[in-house]
């Protein structure tokens, strides 16, 4: 394992595992800041994963695939928005319904379009390409650090920056946060609360869409039923874990990806005797541990501050 850390392949794996959770969490972040908890990330990611590989391979363009995936995810988000904002369905119920819907709708479409219930592997698939940076690529350490990563890896870093700027430096971001924090205040200033919340859910769709597209057209080039395998829920946890801000979420996602990289490393270690169920617990135990340590420290600084004065 140390060898892998030294030769930086560990780093490459980490970066490959990062985008789905990071993008999913950013989607969750923007909806959450608009005052709508998004339980439906999982379902949105599935819808986009299916659409992007499907459209991508049909059109032969990964860009078209990714855009279509985002669009599909946005459409389902709009459906969710309609039910929560217009029909006043409890937002959590709506989120779960989106997950159920996404899981079933993708399989249904797959069986109609490709006569398969389990997976769709296009004959000549398109892939979101890797970015090879000339010159830098050949520099020993730097090359491995910077070159050869998937476009989506860079895009997800950009997305962090984007969300940061959006939330903290644009009028829209202020409106969004105001709506999430004090909707009545926003409304009294002529901000259309409902419209902002619609848009928040759309953002959720956009980023969940990117995350889903990466699963099927970046990490692999296939769609498999339920291929998100709980990533959406992890993303939800990361939103809260990351303190509901883009930078915190970046670190939260890195932690998760790191734990997953660790799982993969242990799983592929020769003569590994640890039962795989215990290995699989690593990310979750790490998260609970970090959460606890963080909370305990915060609690004790609260106490210390109170005591010190």
Partner 1 sequence: MRPRKAVFLDLFGLAGAVAASLVIGIIVIFCVSSEPLAAMNAFFVEPLTNAFNFGSILNRMVPLVFTGLAIAVVFQSGVFSMGAEGQLYIGALTGAVAAVYMKGLSAWMHIPLVLVCAILGGGLFAFLPGILKARFKADEIVSTLMFNYIGIFFVSYLLNNVIKDANSGGFARTPYVQDSARLHQIVQGFPTLYSFVFALAAAAVVYILLFKTRTGYELRLVGKNPLFAEYGGIHIRKAIVLSMVISGALAGLGGAMEVIGQQGALNDHFSTGLGFDGIIISLLARNHPIGILVSAFFYAYLTVGGQNMQAGSDVPRDLAVIIQSLLVLFVSSQALFAYLNSRKAVRKGGAEVAS
Partner 2 sequence: AGCGSNKSGQSGSSQTDIGGSEAPLSVGLYINGNLGDQGFFDSANAGVQRMDKEFGAKIKVVEGGSNQTDWAVGLESMVSSGKYDIVIAGTSQMSDITINLAKRYPNQKFIFFDVAIEGLPNVYSVIYDQKEGSFLAGAFAALVTKSTELKGSNPDKTIGFIGGMDIPIINEFRSGYEQGAQYIDRDIKVISSFVGSFSDAPKGKELGLAQFKQQKVDVIFAAAGAGGLGMFEAAKELGTYAIGCNVNQNEVQPGTVLTSMLKNVSDSLFRAVDRYKKGELQFGVSEQLGFAEGGVGLAKDDLYSKNVPQTIRDQVEEIQKKLESGEITLK
Partner 3 sequence: MSDLLEMRNIHKVYSNGTRANRGVSFSVRHGEIHALVGENGAGKSTLMKILFGLETPSEGEIFYKGEKIEMRTPKDAIRYEIGMVHQHFMLVPSFTVAQNIVLGSEPRKGALSDHKAALLETDRLIREYGLKVDSSATVARLSVGLKQRVEILKVLYRGARLIILDEPTAVLTPQETDELFHSLRKLVDTGYTIIFITHKLNEVMSISDRITVLRAGQTVTTLNTAKTNKEEISRLMVGREVLLRVQKTPARAKETVLRINGLSDEDSYSGQPVLRNVSLEVKSGEILGIAGVEGNGQTELIEAITGFGKGYRGSILFQDKPLAGESIRAIRAMGIGHIPEDRQTRGACLTASVKENLILDQYREKAFGRIWFLNERQIRRHARELIERFDIRTESEDTPAGSLSGGNIQKIVVARELHKKPKLLIAAQPTRGVDIGSIEFIHKEIVRARDEGAAVLLVSAELTEIMSLSDRIGVLYNGELTALLNNTDDLTEEEIGYYMLGVKKDERKAVAT
For partner 1, the closer CB: 86 or 168 = 86
Rounded CA-CA distance 186/243 in Å is: 23
Q: Does 87 bind partner 3 (CB under 8 A)?
A: no
For partner 2, the closer CB: 121 or 131 = 121
Number of chain positions touching partner 3 (CB under 8 A): 25
Q: Does 236 bind partner 1 (CB under 8 A)?
A: yes
DSSP 270: T
For partner 1, the closer CB: 103 or 143 = 103
Smallest distance from the beta carbon of 121 to partner 2, in angstroms?
7
Q: Does 287 bind partner 1 (CB under 8 A)?
A: yes
Q: Report the partner that residue 86 touches, choosing among partner 2, partner 3, partner 1, none (CB closer than 5 to 8 A by kind).
A: partner 1
Chosen residue from 92, 113, 247, 280 binding partner 2 by CB under 8 A: 280
Chosen residue from 71, 105, 109, 116 binding partner 2 by CB under 8 A: 116
Q: Which one of the spans 14-22, 86-94, 143-151, 199-207 is the region binding partner 2 (CB under 8 A)?
A: 14-22
**Contact (CB, 8 A) for 92 and 212:** no
Rounded CA-CA distance 161/258 in Å is: 21
Q: Does 181 bind partner 3 (CB under 8 A)?
A: yes
Q: Show the DSSP H helices in 90-150 as ranges.
A: 91-114, 140-146
Rounded CA-CA distance 213/71 in Å is: 11
Q: Which one of the spans 7-15, 145-153, 184-192, 290-298 is the region binding partner 1 (CB under 8 A)?
A: 290-298
Rounded CA-CA distance 17/85 in Å is: 34
Residues in the chain: 309
For partner 2, the closer CB: 3 or 190 = 3
Rounded CA-CA distance 91/197 in Å is: 12
DSSP 272: -
- Look at phi and psi of residue 244 and say left if phi exceeds 0, alpha if psi is from -120 to 50, else beta: left
CA-to-CA separations, 116 to 5, 71, 213, in angstroms, rounded: 40, 23, 20
**Contact (CB, 8 A) for 83 and 94:** yes
Q: Does 301 bind partner 2 (CB under 8 A)?
A: no
Rounded CA-CA distance 230/197 in Å is: 25
Nearest CA-CA partner of 118 in 226, 221, 231: 226
Smallest distance from the beta carbon of 239 to partner 1, in angstroms?
9
Please, which of residues 204-263 interact with partner 2 by CB under 8 A?
Answer: 215, 219-222, 224-227, 229
Chosen residue from 185, 289, 293, 296 binding partner 3 by CB under 8 A: 185
Rounded CA-CA distance 98/92 in Å is: 10
Per CB under 8 A, residues contacting partner 2 are 4, 9, 13, 16-17, 20, 107, 111, 116-119, 121, 215, 219-222, 224-227, 229, 264-265, 267-270, 272, 275-277, 280
Per CB under 8 A, residues contacting partner 1 are 83, 86-90, 92-94, 96-98, 100-101, 103-105, 107-108, 111, 230, 233-234, 236-237, 240-241, 275, 277-278, 280-281, 283-285, 287-288, 291-292, 294-296, 298-299
């Amino acid at each position: 394992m140390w060898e892998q850390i030294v030769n930086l392949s560990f780093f490459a794996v980490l970066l490959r595992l990062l985008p789905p959770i990071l993008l999913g969490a950013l989607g969750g972040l923007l909806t959450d800041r608009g005052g709508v908890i998004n339980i439906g990330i999982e379902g949105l990611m599935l819808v986009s994963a299916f659409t992007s590989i499907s459209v991508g391979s049909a059109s032969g363009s990964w860009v078209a695939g990714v855009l279509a995936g985002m669009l599909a995810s946005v459409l389902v988000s709009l459906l969710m928005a309609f039910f929560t904002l217009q029909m006043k369905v409890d937002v959590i119920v709506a989120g779960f319904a989106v997950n159920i819907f996404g899981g079933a709708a993708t399989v249904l479409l797959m069986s109609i379009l490709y006569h398969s219930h389990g997976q769709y592997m296009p004959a000549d698939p398109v892939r979101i390409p890797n970015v090879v940076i000339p010159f830098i690529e050949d520099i020993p350490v730097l090359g491995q650090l910077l070159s050869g990563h998937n476009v989506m890896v860079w895009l997800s870093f950009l997305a962090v920056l984007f969300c940061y700027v959006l939330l903290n430096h644009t009028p829209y971001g202020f409106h969004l946060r105001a709506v999430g924090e004090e909707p009545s205040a926003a409304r009294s200033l002529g901000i259309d609360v409902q419209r902002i919340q619609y848009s928040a859910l759309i953002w959720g769709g956009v980023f969940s869409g990117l995350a889903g597209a990466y699963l099927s057209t970046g990490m692999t080039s296939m769609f498999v039923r339920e291929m998100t395998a709980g990533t959406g829920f992890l993303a939800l946890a990361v939103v809260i874990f990351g303190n509901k801000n883009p930078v915190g979420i970046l670190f939260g996602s890195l932690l998760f990806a790191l734990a997953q990289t660790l799982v993969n490393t242990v799983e592929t270690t020769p003569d590994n005797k640890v039962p795989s169920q215990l290995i699989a617990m690593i990310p979750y135990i790490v998260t609970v541990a970090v959460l606890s340590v963080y909370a305990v420290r915060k609690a004790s600084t609260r106490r210390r501050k109170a005591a010190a004065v």
